Amino acid sequence: MKNNIILIGFMGSGKTSVGIGLSYQLKRTMIDTDKWIEQKQKRTVSEIFAQSGEEAFRRMETDCLKELIRTADQQIISVGGGLPMKEENHALLKELGIVFYLSATPEALYKRLKSDTTRPLLQVENPEERIRTLLKQRAPVYEACADVVLDVSDRTFDEILEQIGKELEENEAFSD
Ligand code: S3P
């Protein structure tokens, strides 16, 4: 297993902002799988979904993980909300490092996502309903994939960082 910190969770659960915070705190660089794919493809996630379809995007996510296994160590890696849903990706995530699931209620997620236009899966008539349905399918998979589950709905940003810090201290492989 490599020494990366992986953040998984639903869209809007705060993976990117927590990742940036951790990256400052631990002085590790951060990689976001969506950004990685966008840079490689030279188009946005929305464009990839519209032009090539979701399946193609999902293949790009797996390719990204395989590449990160070859190249990333001591980094913070925030992954797209749908990435853990592919069975093949579970072993790859485990191989990459310690996996934190940022778990949030559908209400908290909807509050953060209601005006979002960048997530193709939520550009539907009733995004709140969509969030509930998707989260119901995904939450058990996120939990199965995670080494640590953190409930982030009622926690401040600083509390989340502190909690992750404690978990890392307890994990021998990550205390330097
Ligand atoms: C998706 C989540 C997005 C992005 C794409 C699909 C999903 O990433 O990968 O829009 O299926 O949940 P974030 O979780 O970073 O928003």
Cβ burial, residue 29 (10 Å; 0-12/13-18/19+): exposed
Pocket of ligand 1 (CB under 6 A): 11, 15, 34, 45, 80-82, 119-121
**Residue found under tokens 């979904």:** 49
Higher pLDDT, 76 or 1: 76
Identify the pLDDT of residue 174: 62
Query: Quick check: 175 pLDDT over 60?
Result: no
Confidence of residue 1 (pLDDT cuts 50, 70, 90): confident
Identify the pLDDT of residue 81: 98
Identify the pLDDT of residue 63: 98
Residue 15 CA: nearest ligand 1 atom is 15
Mean per-residue pLDDT, 34-50:
98
Residue 78 CA: nearest ligand 1 atom is 15
Distance 12 CA to ligand 1 centre (A): 9
| Span 147-164, pLDDT tens digits | 999 999 989 999 999 999
Residue 11 CA: nearest ligand 1 atom is 14
Query: Quick check: 9 pLDDT over 70?
Result: yes
Task: Give dist(CA 4, CA 12) in Å, integer.
Answer: 22
Query: Quick check: 140 pLDDT over 70?
Result: yes
Residue 16 CA: nearest ligand 1 atom is 15
pLDDT > 70 fraction of the chain, expressed in percent and rounded: 97
What pTM does this model have? 0.96
Give me the amino acid identity at 23.
S
- Mutation test of ligand 1: which of 34, 40, 109 has the most ligand atoms closer than 8 Å to its C-beta? 34
Higher pLDDT, 174 or 14: 14
Residue 59 CB coordination number (10 Å): 12
- Mutation test of ligand 1: which of 11, 89, 122 has the most ligand atoms closer than 8 Å to its C-beta? 11
Identify the pLDDT of residue 138: 98
Distance 82 CA to ligand 1 centre (A): 6
Cβ burial, residue 11 (10 Å; 0-12/13-18/19+): buried
Cβ burial, residue 43 (10 Å; 0-12/13-18/19+): middle
Confidence of residue 173 (pLDDT cuts 50, 70, 90): low
Distance 13 CA to ligand 1 centre (A): 11
Identify the pLDDT of residue 134: 98
